[in-house]
Each structure stands twice: as structure tokens, then as C-alpha cells.
Chain A
Amino acid sequence: MWKEIKEREFGNVRPNLFSSRISKSRVSSIQLSNYKEILSSHRGSVNSLQVDLTESRYLLAGASDASVAVYDIQRATDHDERNLIAKHKPLFVLNKQHEHGHKYAISSAIWYPIDTGLFVTGSYDHHINVWDTNTTQVVMNFKMPGKVYRTAMSSIARSHMLVAAGTEDVQVRLCDIASGAFAHTLSGHRDGVMSLEWSTSSEWVLITGGCDGAIRFWDIRRAGCFRVLDQSCSQFGRRQPLLLRPTTNKKSSPASQSSSAKVRAHHRKSANGSALKPHTVGRISSLVKTAKQRSHPGMLSSHDRATAHYGVVTGLKVTGDGMYLLSAGSDSRLRLWDIESGCNTLVNFETTRLQSSKAIQMAVTQDSTLAFVPCMAITKVFDIWSGQTKSTFRGHYENVNCCCYNALDQELYTGGNDRQILVWSPPKFVSDETGEGKNGKAAATDDQDNWSD
């Protein structure tokens, strides 16, 4: 450690490289925290966790007993008697007794991306509430047509304040908290939408994963989705840099350009049904003439039936650089997609089972090398490009639903059906703490003996 600091001082190592080396070594040593504990006050399974994006100080948790709690993860509320473990109690808890609180389970709780003055919760009681953090009052309420599975706000948005909501209804709704009304709806999915994420590279792009197994990319300024991910369209790992790339077609079967073609803006010229090659039109029997009806260019995507998973898409996570998308499905597969080309990169993540009835929340480290995925009762750490399991975190008694990575401290928070929120952090040695004890007695040092001298 001191050697590295000296190297940075002398200019042998750039500051960025120095900090990334330190955080990489810390991340690789993450284990169940031996100095920090969160005392969860939830009476139901923890469904959603998010650390705030501005200071990485407050953890927002939403649970199945309609309770929302905020924890300060940098300042402990009290310590145990030997000053070894810092306990973090919630700063406040909002539950069913609150006059405008939710009545059923909360499936998603997210911070307002700009500051921690507001947070948004979505619940199975068909409502989305926008809360003021300081007064803990509901300032806005949106009623949805079905159970809300997920809500999301774009962290890079500069010109809109839209909350995207995925419900058991087939349409994705965008709610505007500036005006209190619905902005518009996005149609195209054929079943409910269980997971959604905003893109980290464009404030206008929303990615949704549905119960029909499809993952769709929407540009909210246009109608219809502009891309549907197809698991059979694949490429081998990372794309080559532009100058070295060969000019062959990356699609799996060169002859099948027609049926599962991605709908792009310049394909709107052939807008007479999506599934036909022009020169075979004459041979089609009368049964398939219905596909030739003219449809709105934005609605062409509804004919595209490509699926990204063989079951429900239960989790989505975009990497921080906006280039790759990790998706989890109820077919117990994790897939890594290259967003720019829309292809499956065929990285195989070894997962035996993933929970299929509830959405899961995954996390990716800041340099996009490790992914944290809840698999039933354990959390697995995968290397994103090779798919190998780096380590497994066993600690919860029941299924893990959500995990959230705090890049500032290199800590991971996981919440599960056993109502606990566990903290996983790089180990801190006991001898570091003895100087700051409240008691003043150095009773914690292990190698001090009790003899008098």
C-alpha cells in the first residue's frame, strides 16, 4: 500500500490507475462484513435496494409489508459494546399506518437521481407514490392499471423527469413528476413488463424486459421500439475494433434476413408487413395475406416475436459505460448483450437456478468487470467476460431478491426474503479500530495480556 502511494507520488503510476488498482483489490476480497451491520426493521421480504446517486450515503429499501426505510450507511447509529461492529438503524420507516402509505407489497423504491429530497415507490396496490424525504409525505400519486413491478428514473436525464413504470399491463407508462400527468405509453410487449432500466448512455432510451421473454429498446421520443433482442442473433464475445472488423454479416443465418429483422428507421420503406421477402409475395397462400396490412411504422415492432429468454425476463442491468446489457430470465440463464449491435455475446454464466416468480436486481462494478447476481439463496459474483464464478456469498436464509453495489466504498448490500439486509465489504482489521474506542480502554487488542507489570 505504501509502495503504491510512493509510486503515485513519484509519477510512476497515474492517479486513475492507482485508484482503480486499490478498488479492484478491495472488490476481490469482499466478504460478509465484520464491522458493519444493518438492522432491518422490515416485516416482509426486502424487494428493492438502492443507494443514492449523489453522495452514496443513504440506502433506500422497499419491502413486502409495504414498508420503506432509509438507512445511513456511512454513519452508524450505535456500536456494540466492544466497539467492533457498527449498527445502522433506519433513519425513518414508512409503513401501512402512514396515511398515504402503500397497502400492499412495495416492489420498487428508487431515489430521485438529482438529490435525495425525493424518492419514488411502486407497489402491488397499483399506485406509484412520490415522497418528500424530509417531511415523509406523499407529494404525488399515480394510479396504474395493474400491479407495479418496477419503476425507474434516468440518472443522466437533463431535460425530462419521467418515471418509467412496468406493470402487469402490456403497456409501459411514463409518468412525469414535473406536471403530475402521464407523458405517454409504450406498446409492443405481449405480456406484463417485469424489469426496466434506462440506458446509461442516452437519456431518451429505455430498455424493458417482459413476461413474454422479449427485451425491447425504446426511444421515448418516437413511437414503437427500435430494437428487439433476439437470442439467436449472436456474435462471438466483444466486437472487433472498427478498422479490423471483417465486412461479413454478423447474423446467424444469412438467408433469414426477413422474419426476425430488427426494425430500424431506414427499414420503414418496406412497410407492408414485416415477415415477407418481396419476391416471394406471389406464392403466399391466402391465409397469410393478413400480414400484408399496412401498419404504422412505429407499430412494426409488434410483429417481431423474437425472444431474448425462454421465460420471463426477471432482471436487467446496463453496465456503467452503456455498452453492454446483462439480462436474467426465468429459464435460469444470464445473457450478456452488446447494445450497439444487438447481439448475444454467448458468454455462459453458470447458474443452476434463478428465481422465476419475482424480479431480481443485479449489480455491476464500476469498471464493468464483475457482476453480482442473486441466485436463489446465494449471491454469485461472475466475471463478465468469461462467465466464471469468482465467488459466492452465502448468508441469507432464504432467497435473495436484490443487491446493490456501492462503488464509493466497494460494498455490496443484499436483501432477501428472510427480511434481512446484509452488508458485504472488504475486511477491516480489528487493530485499526482500537485507537478510536468510545470506552478509551484498549480491550479489543487481542495480543495484549492481562498480567500486570
Chain B
Amino acid sequence: MNKKITELEPSTSRKRRRDEESEAELDNDDDDSQSLSLEENFTFSDTLMALRMMRSQFPRTEKVTVQPFVLRSQLYSSLKDRTQVDMELESLRRDRVLRIFKLNTGQDDHAVMFMDDYINQIERVVKRMEDKKQDDIRVFEWFKIHVIQSKLDTSIGHQELFSLLSWGGKVREEHISQLINAGLLIRQLIDQNMYWFSIPNIGSVLKGLSQGRKEVLSFLNRRKYKEMMLVSLEKKRLRLSPLDMRFHLRDLIGSGHLKTIQTPSGLIVKIAKD
């Protein structure tokens, strides 16, 4: 399964992508392959395929410092049956193909990241700490080997963290502080003994995410009828967010803030009233 992920780079040949997707909507695409329009690629038939597709469409600019991840609301907007999405995500999570993280940008925001990307992200962080000549980075190895492989949930308790890290060596309080400083763990607000797992270096991206959401919603709210054609909306560039418009649209449609209406001239995006 790992090999398949590395093969799926955004390619310039349209034919390969058509083989991998079974949707009929691709038959009429005529623009360049790097930026497939959202309207034609709106729904998928399988969660894993949707995840890979969205991962390949994740913006890779120099402003975005994090490996690709997909938001749960984006999956909900691109697949018809939400229960099926939940069940497939759960089985993929149990098979250790991907990990789910709870984000602090909203009430129920979750980010889905493939396991390899997460390990890459951790290694980037470790390398940066190595360059700064920080001492004792062994705790990251212990974390990668013992904690991530066995604890698949989004949060972990203090005692369990200690006991899992102890498999690697003698654990001290400073080790846990190192993990928190690197951004791998976050203390929970409601309970001091529980930690959320988190993606390191994701702070600027999350800020861009919430600001971008606000920008899209305020833009549509200012319009006379609070709606716009999807094709023209997609071409707009966002001022405040490094993530592209397609990312935000999928997320807002999936979380219910926007809804799409099929019209003879294409899809229209509208602010959802309730």
C-alpha cells in the first residue's frame, strides 16, 4: 500500500488519472491537469481514493510548512454516504494506514493524515532540533516506535504515555516537555492529565484555515443573494490563507456552512440558512 501512495504524484498526463478514477465526470475535463476544477471532481465513490486525490491536490507552496492532510469535513462533502465514510476511516485507522488528529479550529474539526506523511513530518522536526544541537532527542525515537504504533486514538493519558515511552528507556519530565515543545502533544484544557496528539508546525496553516473560512463566508454574505457560481468562485484567490479556494470550499460544504444547488448552467454555491 505504501508504494501506491508515492506513485500518485500529480502528473501531466491526463490518461493515467482517468484510469485511476472511475467517475464519469472526468470525461469532459479540458483544462490543465494540475488544477482540476472542483465541479468536475466533486464526488468520489471510495474513501481511500478520495483521500489520495485530495492529498495530491494539497497546496505545496513555500508558505505551507506541513505535509498534506485532509479535513474530515472535506471527505463528507465529496462522498454521498457519511456513515460509510466514518466506517472506512475507522477501518483504515485500525490498519494503521492513517491517523486522525483533533484540531482546535472548531467544534468538531479533525485532520486525516497518512501515516507516512506523519512520520515524515516528525522526522523534519527532529532534524531541525538536531541542527540546533539540542540534546537528548532519543525521546522522539521512543515516541515514533512505541507510542504512535500502539496508541491509535486522538488523545492519550499521562500515565499511559509514560508507560509506553518507558519501553524505550528511562523517562523524565523533561522528555514530555520536549515532546510538547516540538508540537507533537498538546495538553487538554479540560483535563490536565490528558494530551491531544497533534501535527507539528501546523500552527500557521490552522490560522490560515480559520481566516480563509471567514473570508469565503464573508465574501458570499456580502453578495446580494448570498450565492455564486462554483466555477467563478473557484477562480478567486484568497488574501489571508495559504490554502487554495478548492480546499476551503470542500471544507465549508462538508461542515454545512455552504450548500450546492444543481442548476442547468452548473453548480451554485450558497450560504446555508440553518
Contacts and interface: CB of A to CB of B under 8 A. Distances in A.
22 contacts: A236-B87, A236-B91, A237-B87, A252-B152, A253-B94, A253-B151, A256-B150, A256-B153, A259-B159, A275-B160, A284-B163, A284-B166, A331-B108, A332-B108, A348-B85, A350-B82, A352-B255, A352-B274, A353-B274, A375-B274, A386-B81, A386-B83
A188 B239 CA distance: 49
Nearest to A281: B163
Interface string A176-213: 00000000000000000000000000000000000010
Nearest to A254: B150
A253 B83 contact: no
B171 interface: yes
A43 interface: no
A212 B83 CA distance: 26
B107 interface: yes
Interface in B258-274: 272, 274
A283 B163 contact: yes
Interface string A276-303: 1100100111011001000000000000
B159 A310 contact: no
A253 B194 contact: no
A237 B171 CA distance: 40
A347 B83 contact: yes
A232 interface: yes
B191 interface: yes
Contacts of A283: 163, 166, 170-171
A260 B122 CA distance: 27
Nearest to B107: A331
A333 interface: yes
Given A256-B150, A275-B160, A346 B86 contact: yes
B151 A310 contact: no
Given A276-B163, A284-B159, A347-B83, 6 more contacts: A236-B87, A252-B94, A255-B151, A283-B170, A285-B162, A348-B85
Contacts of A331: 107-108
A288 B158 contact: yes
Contacts of B102: 310
A106 interface: no
A352 B258 CA distance: 11
Contacts of A113: none
B164 to A, nearest CB: 9
Contacts of A253: 94, 150-153
Nearest to B158: A288
Contacts of A291: 159
A24 to B, nearest CB: 22
Interface string B85-102: 111001101100000001
A366 to B, nearest CB: 23
Interface string B232-274: 0000000000000000000000011100000000000000101
Given A276-B163, A376-B274, A377-B274, A256 B151 contact: yes
A350 B72 CA distance: 13
A258 interface: yes
Interface in B159-211: 159-160, 162-163, 166, 170-173, 190-191, 193-194
A275 B157 contact: yes
A276 B152 CA distance: 18
A378 B257 CA distance: 16
A310 B108 contact: yes
* Nearest 4 CB-CB pairings of A with B: A352-B256, A348-B82, A255-B150, A283-B166
Interface in B87-128: 87, 90-91, 93-94, 102, 107-108
Contacts of B274: 352-353, 375-378
Contacts of A236: 87, 90-91
Contacts of B86: 346-348
Given A348-B83, A352-B272, A258 B160 contact: yes
A8 B85 CA distance: 42
Chain B, interface residues (CB within 8 Å), range: 35 or more
A57 interface: no
B154 interface: yes
A376 B274 CA distance: 8
B88 to A, nearest CB: 10
A346 B83 contact: yes
A375 B274 CA distance: 9
Nearest to A235: B90
A90 interface: no
Nearest to A287: B173
Interface string A199-229: 0000000000000100000000000000000
Given A256-B151, A275-B157, A346-B87, A310 B163 contact: no
Q: Among A275, A346, A352, which residue has the most Cβ atoms of chain B within 10 A?
A: A346
Given A280-B163, A311-B107, A305 B153 contact: no
A387 interface: yes
A327 B255 CA distance: 20
B90 A276 contact: no
Contacts of A386: 81, 83
Contacts of A33: none
A305 B160 contact: no
Contacts of A348: 76, 82-83, 85-86
Interface in A228-272: 232, 234, 236-237, 252-253, 255-256, 258-259
A353 to B, nearest CB: 8
A253 B193 CA distance: 20
A156 to B, nearest CB: 31
B107 A284 contact: no
Nearest to A232: B153
A352 B107 CA distance: 11
B259 to A, nearest CB: 10
A299 to B, nearest CB: 17
Contacts of A377: 274
Interface in A382-423: 386-387
B254 to A, nearest CB: 10
Contacts of B163: 276-277, 280, 283-284
A256 B102 CA distance: 19
Nearest to B255: A352
Nearest to B254: A350
A376 B272 CA distance: 14
